[in-house]
Structure 1
Amino acid sequence: MIIGNEFSNKSKLVLKQIGQISEGDINKKLSVKNVNRELELDRTEIKNFLEYLEELGYIEIVTIGGPFLYGHIKITDKGLQKYTNLDD
């Protein structure tokens, strides 16, 4: 569970990683394993962040399964817009 109403720094890091790997392509299926490679979050953390980002409409969970519960995700138009507007 993500607590607080601000888009947290960790949420930004996760969305930045997703945005970079997607290369601006909303149709590209991204492996959650590849997304988490640099983030090094544990299974519960990455699951919670992905669910949170999906609730906000920034990503779509495409497949279930694999070491992180979710196998693949896609960034949405809304997520891509948020990613491009994130401060560094």
Structure 2
Amino acid sequence: MEKFNEQFQVLQRNLQDLKLTYMSLKIDEYIANINENKISIVDALYELTAREIEVKNFNATNTMVKVAGFPHLKEMKDFDFDFQIKINKQQFL
């Protein structure tokens, strides 16, 4: 068990060094689920990496929006289709 704890600490540091923050935060939960046969190792790695990619993409998008210096943050729900009558709302969405 002591070897596991040492390896787990090294794993945590490796994930942090690689800037895999989500994985670092969630790896213990996934290891517990693997040990309880709730999820396979492949499924766990798939989910962890998929979530990490989602987090990185979300953060990258937010960073680009901040760097762009837009005066107002607007989303699709804020678009005024009544003002832009030439745009077909159904087709656009």
Is TM more than 0.5 here?
A: no
- Of the two, which has the highest radius of gyration? 2
- Which one has a larger percent strand, Structure 1 or Structure 2? 1
- Which one has a larger percent helix, Structure 1 or Structure 2? 2
If asked which structure has higher relative contact order (CA below 8 Å, sep 6+), I would say 1
Structure 1-normalised TM-score? 0.24
Structure 2-normalised TM-score? 0.23
